[in-house]
Amino acid sequence: MDPGLHVKQGLNHLNRVLSYANFVAEDGKATVHLTFEDWHVLADMLFHMETPRELLPARIQDFSLVEGKDAMLLSTDGCEITVEIM
């Protein structure tokens, strides 16, 4: 699959989140903030665009929306990352 521009931008945001989480992680948890627009691009890519799993970084084990909050949870190898709107 050749990802479209929206998916490519979502993957860019996802890789930025993963990189930054390494710097702020404590006890296997990290919170990363994105702008409103960037958060929604990432959420679209993960939850609304049927992006194939093989396009996601191998570190991503699972992802979900946090109910009742504008946040998503990314599970990786050894870290749980909460992505919130700034």
**Distance of alpha carbon 47 from alpha carbon 78, whole angstroms:** 23
Contacts for 36 with CB less than 8 Å, ≥ 6 apart: 85, 86
Looking at residue 2, what is its pLDDT?
61
Cα–Cα distance, 14 to 9 (Å, whole number): 9
Sign of the CA dihedral 8, 47, 44, 27? Answer: negative
Backbone angles phi, psi at 7, to 5 degrees: -70, -40
Number of structural domains the chain divides into: 1
Q: Distance between CA atoms of 4 and 6, rounded to whole angstroms?
A: 6
The pTM score is 0.91
Series of mean pLDDT values for 10-residue runs along the chain (86 residues): 82 97 97 97 94 94 92 95 96
| pLDDT on residue 44 | 95
